[in-house]
Structure 1
Amino acid sequence: MNTNRDIIARLRSNIPSFECTPGCHDCCGPVTTSSEEMSRLPVKTDAEHDAALEDFSCVHLGPNGCEVYDERPLICRLFGTTPNLACPNSCRPKEMVAPEIEEQVHEYIASTRQVLV
């Protein structure tokens, strides 16, 4: 039986990466993530969360971009790799994520308790 950690690792390995427009943070709004993914992120204070929500941004977005890029949640990784979550700046990987992987990401999200990052 696969653990959530195994599922996350497998899905991450199947989501292509790509170069973003420098300074763009269009995908860095508040997102939800599984508790497994959340456990990999630094703990933020209630005040930091409140400030991020007020700005409608991610609590892990710093002045130079994502401060947790290597551990960013699956939904963040999926952004820009599928027509369903297209980048508004037309950035994309050479090959988009396979539809079955996108579906598996959404199934994982739907099957786990999600918390606000």
Structure 2
Amino acid sequence: MSLAAAEGVIYAGGVALTGDVLLEANTDALSDTLAKIPDIGFINRPVQRRRALNNKISAIAEKIEAEEYQEAKQKLENDLLRTVERWVKDEYDVGSGEATKQDLIDAIENLIDELETLVQEN
């Protein structure tokens, strides 16, 4: 799917994505990427750490749903990103369909960028 931007609206396959839809898509992409981190990608206790990271993502999604974009951005930067940096290994064997630590960081940073745009607009 190709994305193109024009006057603050993102177009994907000819469909306009508004801020809310794009944020939901980015939050879903973040959750999907986390799910693709293999257990060996975590420093230890992968089940507990994955659950904790999912809880953090859910809390961020709630902030976004409440249009608390600055708070969501801060939680991404100061909580989720830092936790991922500590809990996910820098290198591990990645199989087909699995994600790397950098994939997860990229998904977080994409959501941060989108929230930054919304914070500046409001």
Same fold (TM over 0.5): no
User: TM (normalized to structure 1)?
Assistant: 0.32
For the pair shown, the structure with the greater C-alpha radius of gyration is 2
